[in-house]
Amino acid sequence: MRSRLQCIVNEGIKSAVSFTHDLGSLKYIFFLLISLHLVLGVFFLPLFSSDFERNLFYGEAFWKHGFQVYDMTPLEIDPGYSIGDPTSGILSYPNTTFDYPTLQLLFWVGIAALPFPQITAKWILSIFDIFNTILIFELLKRFSRNENGSEKSELFEKGFALSYLLFAIPFSAIEGQSTSITIFFFLISIALYSRNNQASYLAVGLGFHWKYVTLLILPYLLVKDIGSVKKMLSGLGYLVGSLILLSFPLFYSQFILSYFSFFGNLSQYSGQIPSNPLLISKLYISSILSTGMLLLGIFFWLKPVLRNKKISFDIQGIIDRGYWIPLLLLLLFLKIYANSFPWYWMWFYSLIVILPRKDRRLFTKLFAITFAFGLVDFVDMTVGFETFFGFFS
């Protein structure tokens, strides 16, 4: 086990060195972005969301109440609970219990025990962002090699990876969102699978106990393994085993029942979700564009059906293009789930990686346009353009 872990660490160091070498002159941008992550993590408090403060609150509460924090509201844990939303000052989720799975709770428990947890947590999240940047580049390079990628495609890979590290700054270094770890589980699952390692299913199981959305990558793995029942069953064994093992702590509380009750009565809790300016459903232009992305994605997934201007039901063609399924499920989730936030869009980085080069470039362009309009909407709804431009005058 020790030699295996040492091998993984050595390979990680080797990949990091290789990545900085491959970047060439762009490596200075890479180190600048890393510096921004670390510096902003020290000097900036969350500007728009209370999630970071509440997660640390539950991490500290665990040392006294254990897994019973899943049954306790913030006011039951501490009658003097005063964490408010930065955008409105409204008390944040005072009557809802902790709603993240086991691994995420244990992460914040560990962070709460460290010195200077507010800074340490952001630095750890930023380190995951650095890992993710390297993983994104390595995966793109590996897949492009299989597709005979050109010099132009190599530049795209570098730019795509660095853009992830850039856009992660407000979410990890400032807001303290744990999006980077969610993306890490996506990417590590894809990386393991690209090496025919069935532990990719284990990564999905672990990711599920970090944030449930990680399960979106499962259809991709199943479609890829559809020709080998043995591989599929072996992988599902890893997945189910991890789900069962890590679910035991949840049975010490009413977490599972309260979780489904929460989503079944979401409208009753709307008053406890104060960060309304951040809701994607409120960003009208990007919401319309994301609908267009969903429809286009469905079209390209089902493209094999359209042959010679006639409809021919090519099941194998649709299966072979199963890499579209996680993206479509994520787009559908963002459309249906009313409380989707901008950092959820960062998940697309890990799912775009699995697309072939031609589809990847197409979807990246659509993603960039939608993301840009989303930022315009976001600025307009939070501070207004007069305030925004006045800052630079």
- Give the residue ranges of DSSP H helices in the chain: 2-23, 27-43, 51-65, 74-77, 102-112, 117-146, 151-168, 179-194, 199-208, 218-224, 229-247, 255-264, 284-301, 315-320, 324-336, 348-352, 357-382, 384-392
| pTM recorded for the entire structure | 0.81
Tokens coding 55: 């997660």
Give 8's pLDDT tier (boundaries 50, 70, 90). Answer: low
H or E element: which one contains 306? strand 306-307
Q: Among the listed ranges 31-40, 134-143, 245-254, 349-358, which one has the minimum average pLDDT value?
A: 245-254
CA distances in angstroms from 300 to 39, 75, 149, 294, 344, listed in the order given: 42, 49, 21, 10, 23
Q: How many domains, in total, are found in the chain? A: 1
Residue 341: is it exposed, middle or buried by C-beta count within 10 angstroms (0-12/13-18/19+)? buried
Rounded to an integer, the average pLDDT of 366-387 is: 60
* 372 pLDDT higher than 50: yes
Residue 269: its pLDDT value, please?
Answer: 47
pLDDT, tens only, 282-326: 544 455 656 666 777 777 766 666 654 555 555 666 666 777 788
pLDDT, tens only, 254-287: 555 454 454 444 444 444 444 445 555 554 445 5
Assign residue 176 a region (left: φ > 0; alpha: ψ between -120 and 50; beta: otherwise). Answer: left
* 47 pLDDT higher than 70: yes
pLDDT, tens only, 169-218: 888 888 888 999 999 999 999 988 888 788 889 999 899 889 888 888 98
H or E element: which one contains 311? strand 310-311
Instruction: Return the higher-pLDDT residue of 113 and 374.
Output: 113
Give 386's pLDDT tier (boundaries 50, 70, 90). Answer: very low
pLDDT, tens only, 217-234: 988 888 888 877 788 888
pLDDT, tens only, 60-105: 999 988 888 888 888 899 888 888 877 777 788 888 888 788 889 8
Tokens coding 295: 């429809």
Looking at mean pLDDT, say which of 44-53, 355-364, 372-381 comes out highest. Answer: 44-53
Provide the residue range defining the domain that includes 300: 2-392
Residue 59: its pLDDT value, please?
Answer: 92
* 28 pLDDT higher than 50: yes
Using a pLDDT cut of 70, give the percent of the chain over it.
67
Residue 315: its pLDDT value, please?
Answer: 60
H or E element: which one contains 338? none
* 9 pLDDT higher than 70: no
